[in-house]
Structure 1
Amino acid sequence: MIEVFSDGGCIGNPGPGGWAYIVSLNNEITENYGAEPQTTNNKMELTAVIEALRFIRAQGKEDSEIIITTDSQYVKNGITTWIHSWKKNGWRTAAKQPVKNRELWEALDALAEGITISWRWVKGHSGNPMNERCDELVHVGINSLK
């Protein structure tokens, strides 16, 4: 089993943003983060999960059971529920508007295809050690832009 924790955030929204993930694989912890000078919180939340899945695929471990924990209801609900309607409706929302961040949703959908993933949500800033560490790494990423 592989455990993933992910987070993303911005200073201002939009504004400078960062993403981070922690992957526990074979009792080894891998942390990674990045940043963009002008982005949104939702883009960074999605990017964190995308980058974690890219890492897992690069390790050849996509056949493992994966648990992804995010503090983003947007990511969890989007990939487990909303995406099915979006694809069926030509990437339009229930209000017939284009889906925001479509390119990221498509990338996440492609990376998640064929993988057994359990999606979990944790309240941000609630004391979960791995979520708190991801948040720290998000800020390391944002601060690297300065």
Structure 2
Amino acid sequence: MIEIFTDGASSGNPGPGGYGVVLKSGSHYKELSAGYRKTTNNRMELLAVITGLESITKPDQEVVIYSDSKYVIDAVEKKWVFGWATKGFAGKKNKDLWMRFLKIYKTHKVFFQWVKGHAGHIENERCDRLAVAAAQQRDKLLVDEVFESESK
């Protein structure tokens, strides 16, 4: 089983943002993060989950994703995202990321576990620090091209 811990952050909403991911499986441990110059917290929460899943190299893995994002967890667990997809994501934000999520989600056996944010959960706190640090690296921030083009 693979455990993926995720968090997203945004300073301002929209504003500079980042995500942090911790992957654990047996003795394997990996951290991922990136920052963006203008984005939203929800986009970073979702991108953290996507990035974690995309980093798994073998298909059909059993994965538990730990997240403090009700936005992400509820959309999947309550099956909203599948209805949104059927309707072409009409009127929904983050279509690009949800489409990317659904593509990778199908390749694994994914389970979600909600964790309370900023409540001392070791891996969640680490992900938060990774996300905030990534968002603060002003000279290394990436461009969230879809978000920036849609918000003009």
> Same-fold call, TM > 0.5?
yes
Indicate the residue corresponding to 2:119 in structure 1.
126
Partner of 1:64: 61
Q: 1:70–1:76: 8 Å Cα contact kept in structure 2?
A: yes
Quote the residue 1:95 is aligned against: none
- Name structure 2 gaps, 5 residues minimum: 140-152
- For residues 88 and 138 of structure 1, the distance between their equivalents in structure 2, rounded to whole angstroms, comes to 32
Contact kept in structure 1, 2:16 and 2:136, CA below 8 Å: no
Shift of 1:116: 0.6
Query: TM-score, normalised on structure 2?
Result: 0.86
Aligned equivalents of 1:124 and 1:68: distance in 2?
Answer: 14
* TM-score after normalising by structure 1: 0.90
CA drift of 1:89 comes to: 2.6
Match of 1:79 in 2: 76
List structure 1 segments (4+ residues) > 6 angstroms apart after TM superposition. none
- Give the match's secondary structure for 1:141: helix
**Aligned residue identity for 2:5:** F
Which digits, 9 at most, give the CA deviation of each residue in 1:5-56, with x for residues without a partner?
A: 0000101110000001000023211001001000000110111111111101
Q: Distance in 2 between matches of 1:64 and 1:144?
A: 33
Gaps of 5+ in 1: 93-97
In structure 2, what is the Cα distance between the partners aligned to 1:37 and 1:121? 27
Which aligned pairs between 1:17-56 and structure 2 lie closer than 5 A?
17-56=17-56
* 1:42 partner SS: helix
Q: Which moved more, 1:78-87 or 1:15-24?
A: 78-87
CA distance in 2, matches of 1:134, 1:87: 29
The structural deviation recorded for 1:78 is 1.3
